Amino acid sequence: MNEQRLFAGYSLLFCLAFSACGDPDETAWIERRPALVQPVPAAPSSDRPEQNSEPDDARPDEPGDARSDDPEPAEPAEPTEPRNRCDDGERYPVPDWPSETATQHGLDRNALERAADYAGANHSRCLLVVRHGAVVGEWYWGRNMGRRMDRDNRIKSWSVGKSYAATVTGIAIDQGFINSVDDSIADYIPNFAGSRKEQISIRDLLSMSSGLRFDLTADNLGMFFAGDMTRKALRNPVTNEPGLLWEYNNHTVQLIEPILRQATGMAADEFAQTHLFEKLGMDASWQRDRRDQPAMYMNVSASCRDHAKFAYMMMRKGCWDGEEVLSEAYRDEAISPSTEMNKGYGFWWWMNAETPTLNSVDFSEYDGVLQPFAPADAFMAIGLGNQVIEAIPSLDMVIVRMGVAPQENLLYWLTDRPRIMREMKSDGDHVVLNGVVSRVLSAVRD
């Protein structure tokens, strides 16, 4: 029955336009408030070291009493500026990526072309390979939003948007708008005070272990079609204790929207524009619902080159051209296992290092790590349609592969509608994603 409802819903996605939402606004409690940055008080005088005092009978040396063994007075030390960790000497694509040959950067050009051939034959819209701060391979196919794909064409990123949302949350914490990932979500959503939801922390949201109800149809179709996505997320009941289960839940991610709005006094996408997109020189936007609220769980639209900038900043430990965009501490935690249940998942980022790693569709355990063919330090943002923005620090490499989601494929609607459901259910197997990335990595020669 769930499959019939899910398929029927995706038929609506293709055939119907959105209708206006007439539900009353249940988010009026959200107010703007100033940053929560607290000044650091000076140490109390009692904590300061006491100055040594001379005994009463001490006297200074008289002239002529100079002792030959007295040391020469030391020269005062020159004051030094604290080191900026982001003055790292790395190469940054400012204002844009330089293009260089694959062989210049230790890649086999023919093997890279074979990876591109595979990507192009499997509904890809772009494949971008960056190494040592330069684009060494770049391909585009098909059309997007009514125009041919090229280096400037923005493409939506489905659940890749979750990794953007995690990063924006980290920036808000770094800047003091949010105290800690361990804050209760009720600190920012007052209506939750005194309810079961008060037990949920921001960490629980970021690790996909909130305990909020998960239903396949409601989470995919219901949330997507909701005129007010935030209201729908706020109404979703608790069915498990926070931290008990790992469930890939769009409602969980959407709850960060009212939290960021309450904490920063800005819409989350506006905050991202100022503190992330503009810092990286990205031309990006976030899909909004009909109540003009960003859909935090999906669809940051940007060119494939700009998506690569996002992964590159994360690979460079939150730095961008001498400036810290995201703290190293939060960045490291975001790409570390966030639960024992799924060690391949951090804060809305996927990683390649540990097991067990769970499938995002049916929550089954993979046979090993996410990408057994890739280095253990690889981490990635993954979206529907086998989209991936992947960073591999040990290879100094970023890989971006963007494609269409199954329900966006016009050919399927015309010739093979059951295939849409089959590919939706198998999307967590990452067949095309792994096929592309493994072929790119086979091109590495040094």
Query: What are the DSSP calls for 288-313, one per residue?
Result: B-TTS-B-TTS-EEB-HHHHHHHHHH
Last residue of a domain, one of 270, 302, 334: 302
Query: CA 105, 110, 116: angle at the middle one, nearest 5?
Result: 95
Residue 225 counted as domain residue: yes
Residue 280 sits in the same domain as residue 234 = yes
Residue 411 sits in the same domain as residue 276 = no
- Write out the two tokens for 201: 């922390």
Residue 164 sits in the same domain as residue 281 = yes
Residue 183 sits in the same domain as residue 100 = no
Q: DSSP characters for 210-241?
A: --B---HHIIIIIHHH-SSHHHHHHHPPB-S-
CB crowding 258-290: b at 16 or more within 10 Å, else e: bbbbbbbbbbbbebbbebbbebbebebbbbebe
How many domains does the structure of the chain reveal?
Answer: 2
| Residue 183 belongs to domain with CATH number | 3.40.710.10
Residue 100 sits in the same domain as residue 189 = no
Q: Please report which residue ranges of 146-267 form alpha helices under DSSP H.
A: 160-174, 202-206, 216-217, 223-225, 229-235, 250-254, 256-264
Residue 140 sits in the same domain as residue 249 = no
Residue 427 sits in the same domain as residue 313 = yes
pLDDT score of 67:
47
- Separation of alpha carbons 184 and 196, rounded Å: 11
Tell me the residue range of the domain where 427 lies: 84-144+151-155+303-318+370-446
Residue 382 sits in the same domain as residue 259 = no
Establish how many alpha carbons lie within 13 A of residue 443's alpha carbon, considering only the half-sphere containing its beta carbon. Answer: 27
Residue 393 counted as domain residue: yes
Residue 110 sits in the same domain as residue 164 = no
CB crowding 349-368: b at 16 or more within 10 Å, else e: bbbbbbebbbbbbebeebee
Say if CB 360 and CB 248 are below 8 A apart: yes
Query: CA 428, 206, 126: angle at the middle one, nearest 5?
Result: 45
| Dihedral over Cα of 188, 191, 193, 197: its sign | negative
- Separation of alpha carbons 226 and 233, rounded Å: 10
- Separation of alpha carbons 315 and 320, rounded Å: 10
- Write out the two tokens for 137: 């391979």
Residue 262 sits in the same domain as residue 394 = no
Residue 349 counted as domain residue: no
| Residue 401 belongs to domain with CATH number | 3.30.450
pLDDT score of 419:
84
pLDDT score of 411:
81
Say if CB 398 and CB 311 are below 8 A apart: yes
pLDDT, block means (10 residues), the chain with 446 residues: 51 44 43 39 42 42 47 62 90 98 98 98 97 98 93 96 98 98 98 98 98 88 91 97 97 98 98 98 97 97 98 98 98 98 98 96 96 98 97 98 86 84 88 98 97
- Separation of alpha carbons 198 and 151, rounded Å: 45
Which residue, chain included where needed, has tokens 């109540």? 291
Residue 238 counted as domain residue: yes
Residue 102 sits in the same domain as residue 172 = no
Residue 136 counted as domain residue: yes
Residue 52 counted as domain residue: no
Closest C-alpha to 374, from 316, 431, 308, 440: 440
Residue 256 counted as domain residue: yes
Residue 307 sits in the same domain as residue 285 = no
- Separation of alpha carbons 250 and 272, rounded Å: 19
Last residue of a domain, one of 256, 277, 302: 302
Which residues on neighbouring strands pair with residue 382, listed in sequence order? 388
Say if CB 382 and CB 388 are below 8 A apart: yes
- Separation of alpha carbons 347 and 374, rounded Å: 21
